[in-house]
Amino acid sequence: MLFVVSESAIQSELCQYELNLAREKQENVSERVLIPVNIDSHFQTHVSEHLHELDEDDEFYLNMQFVKQIGILDFSKYAAQTATENVVEYDKDYELMVDHLIDESIRRS
C-alpha cells in the first residue's frame, strides 16, 4: 500500500482507518505492507516532533509511530525545486519507491 504522507492525509479519518488496517496486516506478515511517501514537511515539523506528547494507546499515535518506524521516502525536498535541480537524487528516490511497489506486487501474485 502506498501512503502519501501529507498534512491532509494525516488529518483524514479515512487515511487513519487505512493505516490501522496496514498496521494490523503488518503484524501478520513478514513483508512490507506500507510504503510511505512524504510530499510536504508536515510530518517532520509537526507530527514527528510532537509524538511524545500523545497517549501511547491512541490510534493516531500508533499509526504515526508505524509510519515513522517503516521509514518514509521523502519527496518533500523536491517541492520547491525546479525540474532540473537534483534530478539524479530524485531519480534514485523514485526508483526506490517503484522497486518497493514492484516487490509488493510480485509477492501478491
Domain extent listing, the chain: 2-108
Pick from 6-15, 44-53, 61-70, 77-86: least confident? 77-86
**Averaged pLDDT, 30-48:** 86
Answer whether 0.85 is exceeded by the pTM: no
Mean pLDDT of the chain: 84
Work out the angle at residue 39's Cα, subtended by the Cα atoms of residues 10 and 62, and round it to the nearest 5 degrees.
30
DSSP letters along 76-106, please?
GGGTTS-TTTTHHHHHHHHHHHHHHHHHHHH
Pick from 20-24, 35-39, 92-96: least confident? 92-96
Q: Determine the straight-line distance between the first and last CA of the chain, rounded to whole angstroms.
A: 15
Contacts of 74 (CB under 8 A, 6+ apart): 38, 93
